[in-house]
Structure 1
Amino acid sequence: MEVRKTKFNYLYIVWSGLTVLISIMIFRKLFPLALFPTVLLFLSVYGLLFFMNYGLFGDWRNRIRAGLRRPATIGEKEYLERLNDEVFVSVQRHYPHVKKADLFLIDDEGINAFALGFKTIGLTSAAMRNLSDGELKAVLAHEYAHLAFKDTLHLVMFNPVLLF
């Protein structure tokens, strides 16, 4: 797994530690148990939620939560497949471990895109309508980089609140 080394990694570790401590304190209030059983309960709940978000059905569940849909028309599907194929060939040269992403749309008037899980890229309908081919390819390449560096995985690991 690739991890980018930056001066902010320590902040993530501290933030993650504080989140875990606060979560354990909340669990101790909710479930009046000794410390060890509370920690085990917290780790079990965290592990279950993490598996639900990034396990076998994680991408599928997150697509539903985000309101993503498959391209509706044949024209949308062919257009996005062509762009995705071209971008994936370039991405594959730099990041051979990355899987080809499935492209989904979300009906939104803001120009935006995001990566989810292991192989999902969401585009807003406004992005598809208003961006040129070259701009959309750049957006897709950017989202592939998020998938390559497992950014959504790290985000959820360091922010357990996002699991809910």
Structure 2
Amino acid sequence: MDLHRLNELLNENKKFYSLNIKLKEENSCLNKELLSSQTHIVSLNNSIHKLEKEIRKLENDLKIKEKQIQSNKLLMRNEFKRKDILNNKLVGTNKSTREMGLKDEINNLYIRNNLLCNFIKDLFDKEEMDFEIFYKILETSNEENLKIFIENLR
């Protein structure tokens, strides 16, 4: 081979080598961009999934609230049917049956009150505290004094 031809081949080889380096750099940049875009796509997919899940949850909550509204409407309709709106009296009852119902309710409240007092007394007996003092404080105190008393017990 002659020298001239050898120089041409060397020059072409240098050009190919430099072109190869440029292509590798471009490939590296493109790979970085691809990786970045893929991570961005993954994060967007995760965000979309979370938003879809939140939308489903909100739709379910909306359905539940709509059902509650419908049941409340039905309840109110039934209540208005049951009451005489003008006189605010129960339809189909008279004064004596209402009084009997109130007496029964008061008796039930009295029984519940006695049961709760006995329960609290038993608790105080177990802790060896004075129930009568506690009961007098309950009878004579307002809400703020009760809170202070309960905090002092703790």
Place the TM-score, normalised by the shorter chain, in its bin.
under 0.3
Report which structure shows greater RCO (CA 8 Å, sep ≥6).
1
TM-score by length of 1: 0.24
TM-score by length of 2: 0.25
Q: Which protein has the larger Cα radius of gyration, Structure 1 or Structure 2?
A: 2
User: Which of the two has greater strand per residue?
Assistant: 1
User: Which of the two has greater helix per residue?
Assistant: 2
